[in-house]
């Protein structure tokens, strides 16, 4: 941690902003004026809070409540069971998957939406191990991964008779590796891992890849098809703004779909789901990733929320994200904090993590003053920058309030 100094951007008492804060304010105004995504902010229910927790729960798109009112009163209330066909409920998992596909660089028919991220990690990882064959007895999992991924990887390894091996992205991958589970962006630090290089490394070793995209889907280009990723999963309630607990997605590479052996075969993934036969015959394509009856209310809220992406380029989102996080880091550079998130654009997701003393108490105070981020044990402040609704003025205000709290 750096030695405490008088924060350059702190404003206290009745004193006006000094030269440094004036220059930053002018820069923020200039960047906001040139922001091609600025109009997207009006699509969200955003108040005067600086909301920097979209990497945990995305903001509500304004039009979603009206859509859900229609779903509840007409599709469920009036049409009832008829809505499975007349309102398109039955095909929603694949239809919504096709809307997410361009945001993660996938082809139509390769993404299905449903279940939680945890369930989809289990499906993908076990299928990857089964695909790799019996001679490969190691399951590699990112040692710094989100805890649930580690728990599931451990269970999947035990259930398939494999051995769990902690793995640091970039370490050598041996000839016994069946599958490698990696988080695209580290949830604590915001570090972006090199998906193309690590996927190629795993394939050179003969291992299958399973990527967790929870902190990258909707924040930056992923390129699943371009880089030959085998399996990928991700949540939809962060940068995709699908709502609390909205269903996750599962990607299966086209060449693997015919052999995708799900450990959770359900009636919804049957080739003839209404045949009710005792024998299981898997469906073809993305529906093979389904299990049981989909959560229609959450599914349709997500589908509606994805409307905010109409006409939006994920490359433009990434470009703004990098400038936005650069600007925030510039604003906080004189504060008594340690930067945890990598400085390099190639290694940075869409969040900034800072380390400071009493971080939990600091975050509580920030929230009480209208700057919402979050805290991770033991001493990390996380600030998620969602380019569709966070501006440069927001970043400056967050830095100023952080300076006041730390000062």
For the annotated catalytic residues, the residue numbers are 146, 212, 237-238, 382
Strand partners, 375: 381
Which helix (DSSP H) or strand (DSSP E) does residue 181 occupy?
A: strand 177-183
DSSP 8-state class, residue 104 = G
Question: Alpha-carbon distance 325 to 191, whole Å?
Answer: 13
Q: Which ranges of 45-87 would DSSP assign to H, the alpha helix?
A: 64-70, 83-86
3-state secondary structure of 29: helix
Give 211's strand partners.
182, 232
What is d(CA 229, CA 397) in angstroms, rounded to the nearest whole number?
39
What is the chain's Cα-based Rg? 22
The two beta strands, 351-355 and 338-339, are antiparallel
Largest Cα–Cα separation, the chain? 77
Beta bridge partners of 111: 251
Backbone angles phi, psi at 67, to 5 degrees: -65, -40
Q: Which uninterrupted H or E stretch holds 327?
A: helix 314-331
For residue 249, what are its two tokens?
């997605």
């Amino acid at each position: 941690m750096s030695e405490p100094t008088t924060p350059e951007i702190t404003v206290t008492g009745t004193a006006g902003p000094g030269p440094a804060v004036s220059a930053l304010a002018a820069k923020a105004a200039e960047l906001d004026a040139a922001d091609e995504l600025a109009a997207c902010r009006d699509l969200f229910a955003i108040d005067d809070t600086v909301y920097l927790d979209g990497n945990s729960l995305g903001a509500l798109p304004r039009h979603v409540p009206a859509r859900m009112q229609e779903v509840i009163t007409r599709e469920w209330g009036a049409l009832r069971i008829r809505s499975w066909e007349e309102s398109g409920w039955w095909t929603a998992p694949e239809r919504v998957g096709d809307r997410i596909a361009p945001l993660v660089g996938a082809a139509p028919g390769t993404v299905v939406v449903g279940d939680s991220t945890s369930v989809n990690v289990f499906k993908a990882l076990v299928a990857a191990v089964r695909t790799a064959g019996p001679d490969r007895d190691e399951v590699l999992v990112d040692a710094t991964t989100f805890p649930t991924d580690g728990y599931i990887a451990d269970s999947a390894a035990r259930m398939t008779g494999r051995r769990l091996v902690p793995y640091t992205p970039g370490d050598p991958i041996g000839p016994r590796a069946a599958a490698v589970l990696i988080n695209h962006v580290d949830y604590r630090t915001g570090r972006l891992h090199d998906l193309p290089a690590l996927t190629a490394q795993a394939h050179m070793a003969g291992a299958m890849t399973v990527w967790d995209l929870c902190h990258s889907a909707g924040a930056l280009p992923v390129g699943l098809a371009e880089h030959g990723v085998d399996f990928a999963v991700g949540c939809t309630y962060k940068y995709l703004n699908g709502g609390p607990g909205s269903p996750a997605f599962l990607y299966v590479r086209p060449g693997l779909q015919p052999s995708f052996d799900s450990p959770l075969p359900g009636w919804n993934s049957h080739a003839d789901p209404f045949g009710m036969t005792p024998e299981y015959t898997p469906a073809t394509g993305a529906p093979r990733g389904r299990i049981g009856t989909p959560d229609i209310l959450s599914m349709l809220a997500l589908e509606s929320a994805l409307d905010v992406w109409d006409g939006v380029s994920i490359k433009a989102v990434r470009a703004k994200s990098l400038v936005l996080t650069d600007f925030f880091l510039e604003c906080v550079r004189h504060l008594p904090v340690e930067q945890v998130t990598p400085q390099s654009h190639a290694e940075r997701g869409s969040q900034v993590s800072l380390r400071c003393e009493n971080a939990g108490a600091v975050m509580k105070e920030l929230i009480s003053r209208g700057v919402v981020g979050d805290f991770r044990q033991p001493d990390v402040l996380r600030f998620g920058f969602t380019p569709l609704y966070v501006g440069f003025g927001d970043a400056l205000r967050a830095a100023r309030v952080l300076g006041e709290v730390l000062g």
